Chains A and B, each alone.
Chain A
Amino acid sequence: MIPSAFDYAAPTTVAEALGVLADAGDDVKVLAGGQSLIPVMKLRLADPAMVVDLGRIGELSGVRDDGDALLIGAMTTHHQIATDPLIVEHVPLLAQAAATVADPQVRHRGTFGGALVHADPAGDMPAPVLAADATFILAGPNGERRVAAADFFQGYFTTAVDDGEILTHIRVPKYTGWGSHYEKFTRVAQQWSIVAVAAMVRVEGGTIAEARIGLTNMASTPLRATAVEQALAGAPLTAEAIATASAHAAEGSDPASDLNGDAAYRRHLAEVLTKRAVIAAAGL
């Protein structure tokens, strides 16, 4: 319950934060909302010598319209993501997923960027961001660089963010008019996802024109269910066609086995939940 002692800095600009990080050495943790970092520090599973708190950098918070995309500050809270009018209009999938993260108190503190950089395979934000083909904007000692979502998640709790870098914004293309749904499966409400499916579909007439499916907790990183997406493209808007396509959901996945179910169960869940997510997204 009591973390190890650490030094603390609370820069007020990104430039200042990068400077602090550059001086801090290796044993440093960046504190965003802290809803994952502080618990592991309390359990002393992490004991950084220095913590750099991004909470006082105003420019990292908020959502703004950026033409064909939304530019979301990394320090925007889950609660803001779940309720922001721009997100609800243009990428409702993000709002739907953010509304399922942990619990209301955690959503008030926990941040979009923090959850993405934490990259917990059971976290709810990575799969929707992957499905949406977002772009990650990183600031570092050598300036800004952009990383595609497909390249951002590299492994278990591992991302493309290098030492000395911070994630400042996430640029999420607009999917205005698409149907979307985040189907999350847990044993108790507050639990991390056992498996979850993020689905967006664009329906034209009686046909699914395009689908984007992200899977949560089906591997060490979020996955795109590309086989399902391909099978759905051009498929008739029927429950049968969706069920047939969803049978491909677990292809290429590598889920873990744990107390909540083994890999075979998770593969099965991925199929069922994909079917349900797509049906809900399509408004069937």
Chain B
Amino acid sequence: MTITEVGRARLRKEDAHLITGRSRYTDNMTLPGMLHLAMVRSPFAHAKITSIDTSAAKSSPGVVTVLTGADVAAEQGSLPNVWPVTAEQKAPAFPSIAVDEVAFAGEVVACIVARSAAAARDAVELVDVSYDELPVVLDLEEAFTDKVLAHSNLDSNLSATWVFDSGEAGTGKPIAEALANAEVLIERTFYQQRLIPAFMEPRSIVVDPTSEQITMWSSTQIPHILRLILALTLGLPESKLRVIAPDVGGGFGGKLTVIPEEFITLMAARRVGKPCKYTETRSESLQSGHHGRAQVQKVKLAATKDGIVTGLDIQLLADMGAYLGIIGSGVPILGAFMYNAIYKFPAYRLECNNLFTNKAWTGAYRGAGRPEATFAIERLMDELAVELGMDPLEVRKKNWINNEEFPFTTVTGLEYDSGNYEAATAKAVELFGYDELRAEQVRRREANDPVQLGIGISTFTEMCGLAPSRVLGALSYAAGGWEHAQVRVLPTGNVEVVTGTSPHGQGHETAWSQLVADRLGVPFENIEVLHGDTQVSQRGLDTYGSRSLTVGGMAVLAAADKVIEKAKVLAAHLMEASEEDIEFTDGKFSVKGTDQSTAFGEVAFAAFSAHNLPEGFEPNLDSDATFDPQSFSFPHGTHLAAMEVDTETGQVTIRKYVCVDDVGVVVNPLIVEGQVHGGLAQGIAQALYEEAVHDDAGTLVTGSFVDYLVPGAPDLPHFTTARTETPSTTNQLGAKGVGEAGTIASTPAIVNGVLDAVRHLGVKDIKMPCTPSRVWAALEEAKTTGGVQ
């Protein structure tokens, strides 16, 4: 097969309509007779609802109806959690509209349905809700004590305790031994602050209940999963529901969720029999969409005096927020298999305690569990280097899996497919100018320069390609991890590729076209990729977890291969040759050893016209395939950050950022690089800028973009990106996955760099985000405690 498209930096097919404003985001939709929804939300983080008076709102101009929890109690059910991490996992009911009690500020208590968005918004002010306030629990460590309960009908804040122990699992040695025999023991507590996904398109939902099949447009990453869950929860036959994810303006895990507002809009539309639209404001999005991270990590790392890690013990407190989201319970578990990262130490234990608090529920946010794990281990490797007076790169080299050791089964039992940490690190060190920057760092220290320089390192890996269904089953996840595709061959020989993945910025239309162009020899331009509509793409498990190419892309290739197999039969028939003698290259079927050939398009037309088919041959060449991966793939990379810290103000600046990522075989380098850039921005934002902050009453203080500081163009540096290419061995393409790499890798690189700049002044740790005031306070504290070494 001649490869022409895979590896090309093809410009995206998706762009034309987006750069001209011909976009199809959900809020752009208008339907005849459409009504508008507005939500009444609880101002309290924890309270009993004692009464709701909707009479004034109902008589407000333009209002059609007002729904309360009591009105929909019989039909609304509970938003499901599909990942019971233990058999004993506890989860409070999660109604779309609160009935008796609210457990976070921003929870929906009533919904206005009106003829215009303005009329709906006006009526929100007229709903009179009486509350009896209850005590709130906001802090994770306090939640663990159960002194205050997040839900008055639960007897504990603990949802589940999940444990992995390499000694018990038989994948390694017992941790107790490693800790007892440690020559060096590093103990730390790391705080993963609460983050908000902050996709640029606020969530929006339109439901059209007219006709026999209800149609929902939603700004979601998961149209297929959403359809199933709506059907199961609301008692609607799946076949009566069509879900469409049109243009979706970013997700980052924040739209890997089902939300109360989707249920409410559907219930409202069913009731009034008219199309209904709900579009959240940004403030609502920040307040009541799911949040991410929010963990406390108590970590112990055991090592020998010469820097060999011998064991790692983790105790996690993971904030579920007020309810268990669809997969919120499983997010820390995704990280549990990544704390060992690229290292080959023998003993590992992780205990994860999932806890309820009176804040918005948590869920996936770019990386989902893996950034937290990577942060902890990469911070610890630096701490170990400091403890031993070694170069942090040297400590990593002593412990990482060498290239010749792949495939390598880690202490968690996962088999890493391939990797070349040596090559990526060597390239990064060279591009960075590591030795020169170290020399400058020494000079600045000696000169007592007010601006100090630090070098941050992160040698990360992550697990991509969610997921082998059997693995998900073993982890008690309710669904599988396969992906589906269909290749439809049109009479002209043009091709439609239907994918079960649901892109929202990732460029699947372009990349899948490249895959199929190579496989079928059909020009890139003659391929259309269809997605995000359950009526078109009838099966799929959607887009998240850097799975689309390594799982969905493989399904596309498998479907294309089936087309070829079927077409070969027809080509043989048309050329009066034996099937075994047919070869397919460059879009042509030819008979071995002859100059006889027929083009793909000719075979396609013959299959369509069906005038002359072999006995038993069904007209048309369309084929389906479902791919279930047997294993994960493990991209990796080395990220180096030169950080400048202004010791007078605490201001932190990224002077240089170099990353060398190995994502295996690349289909489109332009798209890969774009994914890396965006991932870096989000990881850096965790390190330096973003945090969801609540006041003592549980109100979100960072409730708008005025206070929730998503970095802008002047706040981020120019990134130097490069790649090494170590093909994955777990899929036929050798691809690994790139969607989350930058986010996972960059956070510890930045924080390690900040600390490296000021550690010699006595600073031992700084909580994220490393704001100027925190950095300055740490420097001041180091002065007063005489911490200068």
Interface residues of A (CB under 8 A from B): 1-2, 4-5, 43-44, 185, 187-192, 194, 259-262, 265, 268-269, 272-273
Contacts and interface: CB of A to CB of B under 8 A. Distances in A.
Contact of A188 (B117, B689, B702): B689
A188 B681 CA distance: 13
Contacts of A262: 773
Nearest to B705: A190
A273 B776 CA distance: 14
B771 interface: yes
A196 to B, nearest CB: 12
B118 A268 contact: no
A269 B649 contact: yes
B709 interface: yes
Interface stretch (B258-266, B356-364, B635-643, B711-719): B711-719
Contacts of A265: 650, 773, 776-777
Given A265-B773, A265-B777, A259 B689 contact: no
Given A185-B772, A259-B693, 4 more contacts: A1-B281, A188-B689, A188-B714, A189-B712
A187 B121 contact: no
Contacts of A191: 706, 709
Nearest to B714: A189
Contacts of A261: 771-773
Interface of B: 117-118, 121-122, 125, 281, 283, 648-651, 689, 693, 701-702, 704, 706-707, 709-715, 771-773, 776-777
B590 to A, nearest CB: 61
A43 B281 CA distance: 10
A260 B650 CA distance: 12
A2 B118 contact: yes
A43 B283 contact: yes
A269 B125 CA distance: 42
B214 to A, nearest CB: 27
Contact of B648 (A187, A188, A272): A272
B650 to A, nearest CB: 8
A190 B712 contact: yes
Contacts of B122: 2, 4-5
Given A2-B118, A259-B701, A259-B702, A187 B712 contact: no
Nearest to A2: B121
Contacts of B648: 272
A260 B714 contact: no
Nearest to B707: A259
Contacts of A43: 283, 704
Contacts of A194: 772
Contacts of B707: 259
A44 B117 CA distance: 15
Contacts of A5: 118, 122
A192 B704 CA distance: 13
28 contacts: A2-B122, A4-B122, A43-B283, A43-B704, A44-B125, A185-B651, A187-B709, A187-B771, A188-B689, A188-B709, A188-B710, A188-B711, A188-B712, A188-B714, A188-B715, A189-B712, A189-B713, A189-B714, A191-B709, A192-B706, A259-B693, A259-B702, A262-B773, A265-B650, A265-B773, A265-B776, A272-B648, A273-B649
Contacts of A189: 712-715
Contacts, number: 54
A268 to B, nearest CB: 7
A269 B709 CA distance: 20
Of residues B650, B689, B701, B772, which shows the largest number of chain A Cβ atoms within 10 Å of its Cβ?
B772
B679 to A, nearest CB: 19
Contact of A185 (B118, B649, B713): B649
A119 to B, nearest CB: 17
Nearest to A1: B281
Contacts of A2: 117-118, 121-122
Contact of A187 (B693, B702, B772): B772
A97 to B, nearest CB: 17
Contacts of B710: 188
B689 A187 contact: yes
B304 to A, nearest CB: 41
Contacts of A190: 712
Which 8 pairs from chain A and chain B are nearest by CB? A261-B773, A189-B714, A2-B121, A265-B773, A1-B281, A188-B709, A272-B648, A188-B715
A187 B702 CA distance: 14
A192 B122 CA distance: 30
B625 to A, nearest CB: 45
Contacts of A44: 125
A271 to B, nearest CB: 9
Nearest to A190: B712
B649 A272 contact: yes
B443 to A, nearest CB: 21
A260 B689 contact: no
B586 to A, nearest CB: 52
Contacts of A4: 122
A259 to B, nearest CB: 6
Contacts of B772: 185, 187, 194, 261
A260 B712 contact: no
A268 B650 CA distance: 11
Contacts of A273: 649
Contacts of B701: 259
A191 B710 CA distance: 10
A187 to B, nearest CB: 6
A188 B651 CA distance: 11
A1 B285 CA distance: 12
A101 B507 CA distance: 36
A44 B777 CA distance: 37
Nearest to A275: B648
Nearest to A103: B712
A260 B773 CA distance: 7
A272 B650 CA distance: 11
Contacts of B704: 43
A5 B281 CA distance: 18
Contact of B771 (A192, A260, A269): A260
A230 to B, nearest CB: 24
A188 B648 CA distance: 18
B782 to A, nearest CB: 15
Nearest to B284: A1
Contacts of A259: 693, 701-702, 707
A265 B777 CA distance: 8
B576 to A, nearest CB: 69
Contacts of A192: 706
Contacts of B651: 185
A261 B769 CA distance: 13
Nearest to B280: A1
B387 to A, nearest CB: 31
A261 B777 CA distance: 10
B256 to A, nearest CB: 25
Nearest to B202: A1
A185 B776 CA distance: 14
A261 B711 CA distance: 18
A268 B689 contact: no
Contacts of A1: 121, 281
Contacts of A187: 689, 709, 771-772
A1 B701 CA distance: 18
A260 B649 CA distance: 12
B326 to A, nearest CB: 27
A39 B315 CA distance: 44
Nearest to A271: B648
Contacts of B771: 187, 260-261
Contacts of B711: 188
A272 B125 CA distance: 46
Contacts of B706: 191-192
Nearest to B648: A272
Contacts of A272: 648-649
A25 B414 CA distance: 73
Nearest to A269: B649
Contacts of A185: 649, 651, 772
A185 B772 CA distance: 10
B287 to A, nearest CB: 12
